[in-house]
Amino acid sequence: MNPERRGRGFGPKALVAAAAALTLLATAGCAPSTSNAESGGKVTLEFAQWWEPELPSGELAALMKQFEKENPNISVKLLSAPYASTQQQLVSAAASGQLPDVVGLDGAWVSDFAKQGAIADLAPLMKKVGLPESELASTVALNGKTYMIPVVNFVYPMFVNQDLLAKAGVDGVPQTRSEFLDAAKKISGTGGNVKGWVLPLDTAVPNGVQNDVMSWVWASGGSMLEDGKPAVTNADVKSGVDFVKSVYDADAVLPGALTMKEQDKVENFANGQVGMMIDSLAHVNLIKKNNPNLKFTVAAIPAKDGFDGKRGIPYASWGIGVSNKSAHKEEAAKLVKFLMSKDVNAKVSTLANGFPGNKDATPDFSNSDPLIKTAFDIYKQGTPANEFVGLPKSEQLMRAFDEQLQKALTGGQSVEDALKATQQQWTTVF
């Protein structure tokens, strides 16, 4: 789940601005502000992120002006560039101990940055500036230390083609795994090369393991970890993978799954070839643009039969952290607190078409697609779930799982053996 795709797109003017900002980021050297105290004791914080190019023009800068007004002794210098460029710069800066004071974070970077000592434990900083963890929807912690706070979450609900459901004679959106399997079979039986589900498992981009496979485990309260270590052979993971295989074996999955990428999944759903898929809410507008006549809705990912707990919902985040080398950690923590405050966090999430990291914040849906509100209700009733966030070499872990899963789906080994092999490979990585 690449967060680069979570916000709004940007046109030529924004690209020019982002390129200029990247030059600024490189010129700044991603160095933490160690000697930037101005006359009168004023401090300048450097804030590197990819958010500004993805938000409406000027909005993030306006929020920084608001912060500066509320904190007259602090000014903020935005270092903005597209996601890929920001990642490249920050990875290099973290390795050399030169991160800016405040950094936008992808959960996949957290483990490496923490091991390098590049990012600070946020827990004592939050306590110092008065930001209660109880206000936050989630945090990313390693070894008992909090390194990242998700500012905006971008969720992955289930998308459902309502016309295909009706054509197959299915009454209502599936709520359980058995209902999903039944619906997938009936949709696949309607002919015309239509299938009930789409499952992208291309090993070159193995995020299908996270978004389309493990999501079934999280939706039913399961976990692939135990005490932060691999536990993929447990009953919950086996149940989830057995279910995925049952849908595959029923010939209810769109052909080509083993080499399919996420963008192919979205395209096939938009073309009306697929009854159901798990996908980023960010693609609602894209699907409607590609097929304005498609009648679809979003729903919670079905849980195992009999489950009545909170359902996990996969997500990606715009996360935030503080440089461990910053000379102004407390001022940096004040900026984090500002962005996580109820009203500001609601505004940022509204602008980004995402959901707040503050539990009490509510986005303004007045100008949004109605499905955004539907998904927000699902989000509020469940709990964000993405156990790959913060893990070491998370893409390598997904690929190892993917390769073993493919062998199980094609009859080369049992699900049990696939999970045992995955457990061995993951343990080596950890």
Same domain, 330 and 276: no
* Nearest alpha carbon to residue 257 among 409, 415, 377: 409
CB 298 within 8 A of CB 160: yes
* Nearest alpha carbon to residue 405 among 119, 202, 178: 202
- Report the half-sphere exposure of 92 (CA within 13 A, side-chain side): 10
7-25: average pLDDT: 37
Residue 40: per-residue pLDDT? 56
**Number of domains observed in the structure of the chain:** 2
For residue 209, what is the DSSP state?
I
Tokens at 336, concatenated: 């984090």
Same domain, 40 and 85: yes
Same domain, 272 and 344: no
Least confident among 112-126, 212-226, 332-346, 372-386:
372-386
Q: Facing residues of 298 across strands? A: 159
User: What share of the chain has pLDDT > 90, as a percent?
Assistant: 63
Same domain, 400 and 266: yes
Q: Which residue shows structure tokens 């709990």? A: 383
| Total Cβ atoms within 10 A of residue 44 | 15
CB 331 within 8 A of CB 127: no
19 has a pLDDT exceeding 50: no
* Nearest alpha carbon to residue 380 among 359, 349, 352: 359
Same domain, 376 and 402: no
Same domain, 10 and 134: yes
Same domain, 148 and 263: no
208 has a pLDDT exceeding 60: yes
Q: Facing residues of 155 across strands? A: 315
For residue 301, what is the DSSP state?
P
Cα separation, 237 vs 404, whole angstroms: 14
Rounded to the nearest 5 degrees, what angle is found at the Cα of 426, between the Cα atoms of 425 and 430? Answer: 125
CATH assignment of the domain containing 186:
3.40.190.10
Question: What are the phi and psi torsion angles at 233 (to 5°)?
Answer: -95, 5
Same domain, 199 and 325: no
**Beta-sheet pairing, 296-299 with 229-230:** unpaired
Residue 12: per-residue pLDDT? 31
Q: Facing residues of 49 across strands? A: 80
**Beta-sheet pairing, 158-161 with 296-299:** antiparallel
CB 203 within 8 A of CB 402: yes
Tokens at 380, concatenated: 């509020």
Cβ-proximal residues to 277 (8 Å cutoff; 6+ apart), any chain: 158, 159, 197, 198, 212, 265, 266, 269
Q: Is 159 helix (H, G, I), strand (E, B) or coil?
A: strand
Rounded to the nearest 5 degrees, what angle is found at the Cα of 309, between the Cα atoms of 278 and 284? Answer: 25
Same domain, 239 and 180: yes
CB 352 within 8 A of CB 54: yes
Residue 148: per-residue pLDDT? 95
Structural domain harbouring 75: 3-154+316-384
Same domain, 296 and 369: no
List alpha helices for 172-321, DSSP H.
177-188, 208, 214-219, 235-249, 262-270, 284-290
Same domain, 131 and 49: yes
Residue 153: per-residue pLDDT? 87
Q: What pLDDT, in 10s, does the model give residues 134-167?
A: 999 889 888 899 999 999 988 889 999 999 999 9
Q: Facing residues of 45 across strands? A: 76
Tokens at 85, concatenated: 């460029």
Same domain, 259 and 191: yes
366 has a pLDDT exceeding 90: no
In 98-166, at which residue ranges do the beta strands (DSSP E only) sit?
Answer: 102-105, 140-142, 145-155, 158-161
Task: Categorize the per-residue pLDDT at 41 as very low, low, confident or very high, splitting at 50, 70 and 90.
Answer: confident
Q: What pLDDT, in 10s, does the model give residues 59-86?
A: 999 999 999 999 999 999 999 988 878 8
Cα separation, 10 vs 13, whole angstroms: 8
Q: Is the dihedral of CA 363, 359, 131, 321 positive or negative?
A: negative
